[in-house]
Structure 1
Amino acid sequence: MIGGHRAYRWIWRLSLRARLTLLATAVLAVGLGAGGSLLVITVSAALFTSVDSSVMQTSQDVVTLVKTKQLPNPVPTAGPAQLVQVVNARGGVLSASAAADQVVPMMPLGQLTAAANQGKLMVIAGEEPGREGPLRVFVSKVDAGGGVDYVIVAANIREVLDGGKVVRTAVGVGFPVLLAVLAMLSWLVVGATLRPVESLRRGAAEITGKGVTRRLPVPDAHDEVQRLAVTLNDMLSRLEVAQDRQRAFVADAAHELRSPLASLRTQLEIAARRSPELSTEDVLAEIDRLSRLVDDLLLLARMDAGMAAPARQDEVDLGEVARGVAKRYDGGQVPVVVAPAPGDLPLVVGDRDRLARVIGNLLDNAVRHARTRVGLSVVAEDGSVIVRIADDGPGIPAADRERVFERFTRLDDARARDDGGVGLGLAIVADLVRGHGGTVSLTDGTPGLLATVRIPFRTTEAEPPRKRTTRSRR
């Protein structure tokens, strides 16, 4: 049973259109096969019935002539294909039709007696002299008063057999052609039937991929697919309302939190100036942490609202941006070592502030978990500017390297036990990089972790990518 299921697995790998066409073709093949077989059997039976009726009728007529002693010579027949002989008990031919042998009976005397006693139609070969066969034969025994006579009526059935062969040939040749035509029509009809479903799929893919506000196309036909499209559009409307409410809540909450945090910070700074002995560093640190959290939430809310693409389209030197961000970590406990960048890095198009946010978040994450150092390099490879940030910390298990880009994801190991982190930094990095048409990935740094950001630069055959050169320092 398991092997049987495996044998039919290939069917489920086909598209729905192909499966429906295959099913319809199989049903048509069975139907046409049954219809063709029935046609051949019916036509052959009709031809034999016509011949048998003619033979029986001629036999009755000749028997009547023998009984009334009105038998002519030659004996009349229903057509040139019929042969008639009247044979006496000694095997002599008393009378025959014009086409029949006038001397030699069509059947030996013993066979005549047996056939007459059976009273059934039979077929005999036609290769013997005096007749062309095969023949459909009926033998009647007649008591003529002076003895027993046998009336032999035969009909050549070669035309009948040839007619059946023609029908079988026509069915055998026409069946595959007709099946192929019907299979093609089934393919077209199924394709036309599923076209609205494909339109729904493309519409759903566009909504998922672009995140824009739109609805699925509703087909004109008033059928199940049209009702499905209407129902899905209603569902999208409800989801859009719920999503708008959620975005508005996050944006409003972040906006409302920024004002009291700024006020608290200002008051603490004033208090610290008036009373130098008052220690406000811990409180200010917590306020900074909350401010960063509010800024992250506000940025995520804006990106969810369809603003993930770069707000500005500047020409950005990622090497310069990386060096500027790295300067923030000068004098820190973990040094950030910037590798010398080539002086002809192509410029990428995007938002300078958001790209700096990407590098800053990755550096924050690397510095937080590095043991001794963090490395930063910017190079151009394969049509992209690549930023690599490596640390020598505990790293992240391979199974969790995709999950850490999800929002509010915190791992259980030492790397994720942030000093105040809530799991939004890498999620923001992923969204911002995606908005610039790039990719971000985490790999093994041996030791530690290597974060790689790829931002494509735009090139055309007529206009090569612009490059910015830096003067060498002495």
Structure 2
Amino acid sequence: MSANLPRTPRTPRTPRTPGLQRLPRLPRFPRSSVRVKATVGAVAVVAVALVAAGTALLAVTRTGLADSAEHTAQARAEAVAKSAADGDLVARLAVPDGEDSLLQVVTDDGRILAASENLAGRGPVATFVPSSGSSAAARSVRIASGSAERPYRLVAVRTTENGRPATVYAGTSLETAEYTQHLILSAMLPGIPLLLALVAAVTWRNTARALRPVEAIRAEVAEITERDLGRRVPVPASRDEVARLSTTMNDTLDRLQDSMDRQRRFVADASHELRNPIAALRAHVEVAIAHPQLLHGDELLDDVVRVQQLADDLLLLARLDAGQYPDHVPLDLSELAAATVRRRTGERVPVALDAPGEVLVHGSRTQLARVLDNLLDNAQRHAASRVTVTATAGGVLEVLDDGSGVCDADRERIFTRFTRLDESRSRDAGGTGLGLAIARDIATAHGGTLTAPAPADGPGGRFVLRLPTAR
């Protein structure tokens, strides 16, 4: 096992303004990086496109020139075939000056009836004939001419000469087509590597420029710790995906910092709230040890109950923060309110219930009963002579009291954890300041809301719980 070496403390850095930081340089040759993958991918795509385009160009060029040669040869073969059929066939067939063409008339038994000068004294240049029902047949052949073989597009056309069946062979040279293909290959082959190198260089450079803000974000996030959540990643001036990523990352860091600050405050407040009842318990235990006759069991039990209540509240809040919610089932909010009121006997102020009809909602019976209990506990601490619970259609539950009410500045603050107004502290030192916070968190977990609007008919406290209705 390796030893744990102490870390060298990092010197605090001065916060920099997002968007004005100097972006770091990327590594020159990162392994398996996006930069490498983008460059290789771009080069591969361009290479495939160039090869496909070059192959198509060569095929189109060769096909076009071959078709042109075939049409020329067929026209000449048909002209000679007509002359033979008309009895005007001459022994030496003329070809246009300056063209490397072939003409030959061959009988079915292999005798040469006529030929062009470049085929004088030679045997039949081919033996294929048109198929039945076809006027001509064509093939690409290579025929020896001098010391080399030359490519031709050879066309065969059937005819008769003085009643004897014969075949006219006319050929047009394909040397122009082969030379054109050679020129295309000569021009393309040296240019493809150069073009691929240019694509690779441009892609490598542009990818580096595009990823430099991402590297700046990564470097900044790597240096952010839970003790340094005030730092933010740089936001590029461009309005592209990287800028949106930076903005989203900063928003996430804002939420993380807010969560950490909330957690620290929660731990500090919980420690503060637990200190007093634990200190009181210790004092009672010490008195019991030193003077058993002075022990007051009721006071000791009150402190134990208070610590237990606070521990239960903290555990419930932790579960709510972690997203642990029980299954939601359809339930009648009016029946739940009636059962809760019946269960709470011996209240300081009587509770009136106004729930004339069925109000169906989806939720956890245990948690919604906890919400109503917390609201009634709060109302009992502040009411002068009356507390009313009302359940109406639309999933609305109201708890009203005739106490001093809540001022406008505190209507949201009272739902903050460990918040107790001055009056609450003076009237009931046993409150934990978590009841309304727990009630709102449960309402939010159920997809509802819990607010404290001003009463419509005079002073007093009013809390309104709204829940989605069951369908």
TM-score strictly above 0.5: no
Ranked by relative contact order (alpha carbons within 8 Å, sequence separation 6 or more), the top structure is 2
